[in-house]
Amino acid sequence: MEVMEAIQSRRSIRRYQDIPVDDKAVEAVLEAARWAPSWANTQCWRFIVVRESDTKSRLADTLIANPDIGEKNPADKAIRTAPVVIVACAEMGKSGFYHGEASTDKGDWYMFDVALAMQNLTLAAHSLGLSTVHVGSLDGKKAAEVLNVPEGFRVVEMTPLGYPDQQPKPRPRKELAEMVFYDTWGNK
Ligand SMILES: Cc1cc2nc3c(=O)[nH]c(=O)nc-3n(C[C@H](O)[C@H](O)[C@H](O)COP(=O)(O)O)c2cc1C
């Protein structure tokens, strides 16, 4: 699939068919994540592939609802029922650091690097006919306990991975004119 087509036709999918995803497909999407760029090539990301139903349910229990939308995170059922859940973790104190010191005003860049890897993963999944949804509204400490994630690492986000059982319309995007300036801030 051509890159621009993949970017524009990917959707967040929250309903999945009861069809297994084989190890080869899981490895293919993880390979796409592996090739993401990262701060000084530090590759702080780690991924946990979850297939056990009980673990998926315990992960869904860590999700946080958006009170403007409802009582549950909209991805709750997807995390419980998709054939695979991939949890993205990060090692702290690597991205954004030189000689152990945060070198920019942003501190630890782990969120940025994990996002790049997960963007690769979601687009690769889409190109293989698989679907995903970034799920970031969660209690990372509880999710880390469920998965035995060690000290020094954090759970950043998770995504279900499976074959879609819905075809949502694209969510609207702001026009470029609302987000792009030329030469200096505010100059259109
Ligand atoms: C950082 C991040 C966190 C997100 N967290 C959640 C979440 O917790 N639950 C959920 O259902 N969707 C979540 N989403 C999905 C967004 O709602 C979705 O990407 C957005 O509405 C645009 O829709 P689209 O992905 O279909 O283009 C998240 C997306 C991002 C980038």
Cβ-defined contacts of 3-6 (< 8 Å, 24+): 3/123, 6/123, 6/126, 6/127
**Segment 70-85, tens digit of pLDDT:** 999 999 999 999 999 9
**Segment 22-69, tens digit of pLDDT:** 999 999 999 999 999 999 999 999 999 999 999 999 999 999 999 999
- Whether 137 lines ligand 1, by a CB cut-off of 6 Å, is yes
Residue 1 clears pLDDT 90, i.e. is over it: no
**Segment 99-134, tens digit of pLDDT:** 999 999 999 999 999 999 999 999 999 999 999 999
Q: Please tell me the distance between residue 2's alpha carbon and the centre of ligand 1 in angstroms.
A: 23
- Whether 133 lines ligand 1, by a CB cut-off of 6 Å, is yes
Contact 160, 63 (CB under 8 A): no
Residue 9 clears pLDDT 90, i.e. is over it: yes
Residue 164 clears pLDDT 90, i.e. is over it: yes
Residue 9 is given by DSSP the state: H
175, 147, 126: which is closest to 50 by C-alpha?
147
Distance CA 157, CA 154 (A): 9
Distance CA 47, CA 122 (A): 13
pTM (predicted TM-score): 0.98
- Whether 15 lines ligand 1, by a CB cut-off of 6 Å, is no
Tell me what pLDDT residue 56 has.
Answer: 98
